[in-house]
Amino acid sequence: MSAGESMSYESKDKQRVFNKEFMPHIDAMYNFAYRLTLDEDDAKDLVQETYLKAFRFIKSFEEGTNAKAWLFRILKNSFINNYRKTSKQPNKVDYQEVESYYNSESVDEKITTDLRVETVQHMIGDEITNALNSLDIDFRTVIILCDLEGFTYEEMAKILDIPIGTVRSRLHRARNLLKEKLVNYATSMGYKDKRK
């Protein structure tokens, strides 16, 4: 079917918005989908499903507002609906633990002294990728959104449907867990902390 005369003005307009506002984010969308599913085919399906949903609900998108955040939110919700139930995530996030992170000092102190900037700088992409992928999905997600995609806390709160305070505490916890993983990698790779 070609974009012929049978198409109403409205659908032409929908397609214009779709191509102009949504399609440019396909790289970021695929990247996000891949980091969530860790599978190329699942990522492809998820992105496709998200775009089709986005087209169906295009009227609820306000032109000129943040299309990327809007799309990411749909993708995240689709992921939860489709994959989360069936995925094998051994440890669920303990939100109590997340919310009370400010009161727990012990973890933070220890990690810093065990990992050096130089060590991190010597790590290659694979090591960082593995560390990130081994995080529980909720923690992985906030790091992807913040550090890889550069969303603000406010945008993340909208994408994830959680308060900004929770975004920030989850991010903090996620980073500490990532540091822990990197420490383990550093140790197994034989990096030595010279300060010891």
**Which residues form the interface with another protein (CB under 8 A)?**
1, 3, 7, 11, 14-15, 18-19, 23, 26-27, 30-31, 34, 40, 43-44, 47-48, 51-52, 55-56, 102-103, 105, 108-109, 112-113, 115-117, 120-121, 123-125, 128-129, 132, 143, 146-148, 152-153, 168, 171-172, 175, 178-179, 182
Q: Helix, strand or coil for residue 57?
A: coil
What is the nearest approach in angstroms of another protein to the Cβ of residue 95? 18
Smallest separation (angstroms) from another protein to the CB of 112:
5
Contact 142, 189 (CB under 8 A): no
* Residue (76 or 177) nearer to another protein, CB: 177
Minimum separation from the CB atom of position 125 to another protein (A): 4
Q: How far is CA 43 from CA 75, 76, 182, in A?
A: 10, 12, 26
Nearer to another protein, 98 or 168 (CB): 168
DSSP letter, residue 65: S
- Residue nearer to another protein on the CB measure, 86 or 103: 103
**How far apart (Å, rounded) are the C-alpha atoms in residues 13 and 8?**
9
- Name which of 56 and 85 has its Cβ closer to another protein: 56
Taken in order 154, 158, 164, 168, the sign of the CA dihedral is negative
- The torsion angle over the Cα atoms of residues 158, 161, 165 and 171, rounded to 10 degrees, is -90
